[in-house]
């Protein structure tokens, strides 16, 4: 049980290592966290991918494992933004892999334990020939038990006030390893504050590039709330 004194007594950082894009979930009596490590972020990963931490109180975290058995090296060397879902006794690790900021695709791996090892399922969730850049997968289960995958992908058109850049998509899931259809737009950039970089070279052209990424969805009192990073 948390008290005001307990919370006030904790010290930052709760984990001293490089741990970007942290995702936390609870299973049975423990909390788990998984994130992008420095090697994954810089494209120098060897061995297993993504550090996993474990805690009994959300304040004191210890390294538990490296979670993901590295998939085919031709997929890329940069691994970003892992998240984990639990369904029917199995854990599903969603992540993106590619080369720096290009050719990222969404993948899923499975494990029988929260800390892994997770083994890649051998296929992409979104066809890279149709969508050559997809990142930040976020699995969300609604109250009726249905699963949806939110993620970020690139758009190059600038019609109806939209800006070219990375934006948010949602797609219903046919299973924990398959999406049902191309998905629908959740939110696209329309404002100057969402500009990531001017004259950015992407897809062989220079763009005034805008970015929305890192979706996270929660439902409260009958409404859905999508948190994200912009700009």
Q: What would the pLDDT profile of 187-206 be if each residue is shown by its tens digit?
A: 999 999 999 999 999 999 99
Single out the residue of 58, 48, 110 nearest to residue 79, CA to CA: 48
Handedness of CA 169, 43, 110, 104 (dihedral sign): positive
Largest CA-CA distance found in the chain, in angstroms, rounded? 56
Give the integer Cα–Cα distance in Å for 127 and 75.
13
pLDDT in tens, 111-124: 999 999 999 999 99
Handedness of CA 94, 26, 222, 216 (dihedral sign): negative
Give the integer Cα–Cα distance in Å for 87 and 152.
23
Q: What is the pTM (predicted TM-score) of this model?
A: 0.94
Q: How confident is the model at residue 171 (pLDDT cuts 50, 70, 90)?
A: very high
Domains and CATH numbers, the chain: 4-230 (2.115.10.20)
In the chain, which ranges are continuous DSSP H helix? Answer: 4-9, 38-42
Residue 5: the pLDDT is 54
Residue 71: the pLDDT is 95
Q: How confident is the model at residue 7 (pLDDT cuts 50, 70, 90)?
A: low
Res. 153: pLDDT tops 50: yes
């Amino acid at each position: 049980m948390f008290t005001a004194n307990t919370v006030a007594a904790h010290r930052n950082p709760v984990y001293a290592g490089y741990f970007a894009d942290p995702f936390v979930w609870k299973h049975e009596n423990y909390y788990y966290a998984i994130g992008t490590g420095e090697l994954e972020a810089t494209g120098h990963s060897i061995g297993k991918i993504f550090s996993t931490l474990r805690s009994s109180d959300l304040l004191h975290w210890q390294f538990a494992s490296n979670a993901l058995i590295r998939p085919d090296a031709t997929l890329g060397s940069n691994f970003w933004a892992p998240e984990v879902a639990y369904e029917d006794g199995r854990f599903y690790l969603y992540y993106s892999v590619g080369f720096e900021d290009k050719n990222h695709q969404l993948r899923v791996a499975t494990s029988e334990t929260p800390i892994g090892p997770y083994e890649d399922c051998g296929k992409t969730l979104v066809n890279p020939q149709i969508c050559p850049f997809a990142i930040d997968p976020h699995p969300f289960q609604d109250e009726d038990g249905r699963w949806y995958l939110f993620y970020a992908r690139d758009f190059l058109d600038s019609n109806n006030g939209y800006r070219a850049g990375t934006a948010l998509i949602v797609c219903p899931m046919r299973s924990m390893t398959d999406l049902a259809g191309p998905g629908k737009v959740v939110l696209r950039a329309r404002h100057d504050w969402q500009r990531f970089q001017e004259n950015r070279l992407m897809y062989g052209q220079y763009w005034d590039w805008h970015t929305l990424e890192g979706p996270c969805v929660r439902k409260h009192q009958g409404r859905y709330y999508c948190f994200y990073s912009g700009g």
